[in-house]
Amino acid sequence: MAVTSSIGPGAANMVTAAALAHVNRLPVLFIPGDVFANRGPDPVLQQLEDFGDGTMTVNDCFKPVSRYFDRIMRPEQLLTALPRALRTMTDPADCGPVTLSFCQDVQAEAYDYPESFFDKKVWRQHRPEPDAHELEAAVAALKAANKPVIVAGGGVHFSGATDTLKAFVEKHGIPVVETQAGKSSLAWDHDHNFGPVGVTGAECANIIAEKADLVFGVGTRFQDFTTGSWGLFKNPECRILALNVQAYDSAKHDAIPLTSDAKIGLERLSAALGDHRFTPPDAAIKAGWFAKADAVTAPPKDGNQLPTDMQVIGAVQRQSRDNTVVMCAAGTMPGELHQLWKAKLPLSYHMEYGFSCMGYEIAGGLGIKMAEPDRDVIVMVGDGSYMMMNSELATSVAMDLKITLVITDNRGYGCINRLQMGTGGAEFNNLYAHTNVHPMAIDFAAHAASMGASARKVSSIAELEEALAAARDATVTTVIVIDTDPYPTPEAGGHFWDVAVPQVSPRAEVNQARFRYEAALKERR
């Protein structure tokens, strides 16, 4: 994709998107306007003047969040800048955002480009082979292990390696656990898929990870939610083996590096391992977890009970199809979807949890629909994130790109409120009920309808399922709003996440939280 803007706030508003793309390694071309290269009309409208640097503009903010940055001050500079931009965006190791900052006067200038510059060029995906020595070390590490586990990350999807991963684990008997980005690498009910791992993980996955003597990361950057802030891998003999196309990631935490494309790397590893096979974990631990998951996602027995987010997930799951893509980004839902959603097909789960950016949800859902128009896209978004950015709802209607939104209204920021309580703090300023504002009663359905969507508010899980069933056959973007309880979360599953607690406090709850925090830190790898 390519995105353009004027200088000033138009450019500054894109910096957050560039950071999101940088963290998630997403290729996107940003083309913000810039000041006049000739400086004739300085200062122009929206120009940021730096008193000590005449070359500084708002667009310099893109530098730390771009894989490649260039300021175009002469039209012929495109002869070198554009190929560099496309190389960066199509390189699996370096892919990410590129910023070409166009000076306003240069945008209107002509140049006699050579015709060859406009010849069609196909940029093919690179698939780097593993180094022979690294492959040998990786094979030795796997053969020496007794309880290995594969941590499947987003690189499995980037590489198109889902079928390769499936063949690898079926041949060698290694269990798989999934990160947020790697979820749906294997079908949820595959014998070797033991579910989500880490802070928002399943009991069965975390039990396996805790006991593993070799953690084999495939296309993962080992984010803190995956590793339980590096407190999850408790086996003192545990080593890390990291298969990643980016050498920066494959060398993290003293890992045994295997720098390679994920698909090619798994194929070469499998060939080198031959018939070597491990004994998979007892399937009973997985069955036990999903029994607990099914219990919390089941409809409430009391029809008048305020539903939980878990019960909303259950309703969406029951009304989804194999081609459904469920997506989210921030708040309560990412953790509970990671734990509870049963992804059947590859790329049926889309979670922006590298930057966890509020406001990504509707725009991201629209992007999925543009990329895969035959998919049924369901966007899960809380009231807080909906308030943050909802204008792309109008775009979806205008462009006839139908998506379904499920807005869970817990009347505030329930996720942060629970985090506040979990670290010993008193509830403060996260739920509308705890603020000094007038009681809030936002009519989200009316707001969505004003942008052209088909919208309704439902009062129960049964009504939600009815509305979801109707939305499947709708031809226009549908918004369904449901009030939820801001407090409950799954009691089973999960793991420690490093959120620092004050060492000194007059509040007993904070001191108790600090005691638990210090105990957890002692188990860090």
Strand partners, 33: 102
Task: Give the pLDDT confidence score for residue 470 in this predicted structure.
Answer: 96
Give residue 287's identity as a one-letter amino acid code. Answer: A
Task: Give the pLDDT confidence score for residue 439 in this predicted structure.
Answer: 74
Q: Which of 350, 483, 488, 334 is nearest to 408 (CA)?
A: 483
Task: Give the pLDDT confidence score for residue 299 in this predicted structure.
Answer: 93
Residue found under tokens 């953790």: 335
Reported as a pLDDT band with limits 50, 70 and 90, residue 91 is very high
Task: Give the pLDDT confidence score for residue 483 in this predicted structure.
Answer: 96
Question: Does the pLDDT of residue 360 top 90, yes or no?
Answer: yes
Task: Give the pLDDT confidence score for residue 301 in this predicted structure.
Answer: 85
Question: Does the pLDDT of residue 303 top 80, yes or no?
Answer: no
Strand partners, 350: 327
Q: 433-482: per-residue pLDDT in tens?
A: 898 777 778 999 999 999 999 999 999 999 999 999 999 999 999 999 99
Q: 364-400: per-residue pLDDT in tens?
A: 999 999 999 999 999 999 999 999 999 999 999 999 9
Mean pLDDT within 324-334: 96
Task: Give the pLDDT confidence score for residue 508 in this predicted structure.
Answer: 97
- Within 10 A of 522 (CB to CB), how many other CB atoms are there? 7
Average pLDDT, the chain: 96
Task: Give the pLDDT confidence score for residue 164 in this predicted structure.
Answer: 98
Strand partners, 479: 405, 455
Question: Does the pLDDT of residue 275 top 80, yes or no?
Answer: yes
Residue-by-residue DSSP string for 111-179: ----GGGGS----PPP-PPPPHHHHHHHHHHHHH-SSEEEEE-HHHHHTT-HHHHHHHHHHH---EEE-
Reported as a pLDDT band with limits 50, 70 and 90, residue 336 is very high
Task: Give the pLDDT confidence score for residue 524 in this predicted structure.
Answer: 86
Task: Give the pLDDT confidence score for residue 218 in this predicted structure.
Answer: 98
Residue-by-residue DSSP string for 456-509: EEESSHHHHHHHHHHHHT-SS-EEEEEE--SS---SSS---------S--S-HH
Q: Which of 59, 61, 67, 60 is nearest to 96 (CA)?
A: 67
The pTM assigned to this predicted structure is 0.96
Element (H, E) at 89: helix 78-90
Task: Give the pLDDT confidence score for residue 317 in this predicted structure.
Answer: 98
- Within 10 A of 417 (CB to CB), how many other CB atoms are there? 22
Whether omega before 43 lies within 30 degrees of 0, making that bond cis, reads yes
Q: 22-46: per-residue pLDDT in tens?
A: 999 999 999 999 999 999 999 999 9
Q: Which of 280, 153, 319, 293 is nearest to 223 (CA)?
A: 153
Question: Does the pLDDT of residue 5 top 90, yes or no?
Answer: yes
Q: 210-239: per-residue pLDDT in tens?
A: 999 999 999 999 999 999 999 999 999 999
How is residue 118 written in tokens? 């406009």
Q: Which of 487, 369, 501 is nearest to 418 (CA)?
A: 487
Residue-by-residue DSSP string for 65-76: G-SEEEEE-SGG
Mean pLDDT within 3-14: 94
Report in angstroms the alpha-carbon separations of 9 from 45, 97, 166, 488. Answer: 11, 19, 47, 39
How is residue 116 written in tokens? 């060859």
Task: Give the pLDDT confidence score for residue 277 in this predicted structure.
Answer: 97
User: What are phi and psi for residue 345, nearest 5 degrees?
Assistant: -115, 155
Judge contact between 385 and 361, C-beta under 8 A. Answer: yes
Q: 93-134: per-residue pLDDT in tens?
A: 999 999 999 999 999 999 999 999 999 999 998 999 999 999
Measured between alpha carbons, how far is 481 from 447 in angstroms, rounded to an integer? 11
Measured between alpha carbons, how far is 20 from 229 in angstroms, rounded to an integer? 21
Question: Does the pLDDT of residue 304 top 80, yes or no?
Answer: no
Strand partners, 103: 34
pLDDT-above-70 percentage for the chain? 100
How is residue 431 written in tokens? 């739920």
Q: 411-432: per-residue pLDDT in tens?
A: 999 999 999 999 999 999 999 8
Sheet (strand 214-218) strand order: 193-196, 176-178, 148-152, 214-218, 239-244, 256-259
Q: Which of 114, 113, 120, 83 is nearest to 100 (CA)?
A: 83
Measured between alpha carbons, how far is 19 from 13 in angstroms, rounded to an integer? 11
Residue found under tokens 């990504």: 360
How is residue 298 written in tokens? 């089941």
User: What are phi and psi for residue 64, nearest 5 degrees?
Assistant: -75, -10
Start-to-end CA span in the chain (Å): 40
Task: Give the pLDDT confidence score for residue 176 in this predicted structure.
Answer: 98
Measured between alpha carbons, how far is 113 from 281 in angstroms, rounded to an integer? 62
What is the DSSP-derived secondary structure letter of residue 60?
G
Report in angstroms the alpha-carbon separations of 1 from 47, 275, 354, 385. Answer: 26, 44, 19, 24
Judge contact between 179 and 151, C-beta under 8 A. Answer: yes
Task: Give the pLDDT confidence score for residue 435 in this predicted structure.
Answer: 87
Task: Give the pLDDT confidence score for residue 260 in this predicted structure.
Answer: 98
Measured between alpha carbons, how far is 361 from 381 in angstroms, rounded to an integer? 7
Give residue 128's identity as a one-letter amino acid code. Answer: P
Mean pLDDT within 174-201: 98
pLDDT-above-90 percentage for the chain? 95
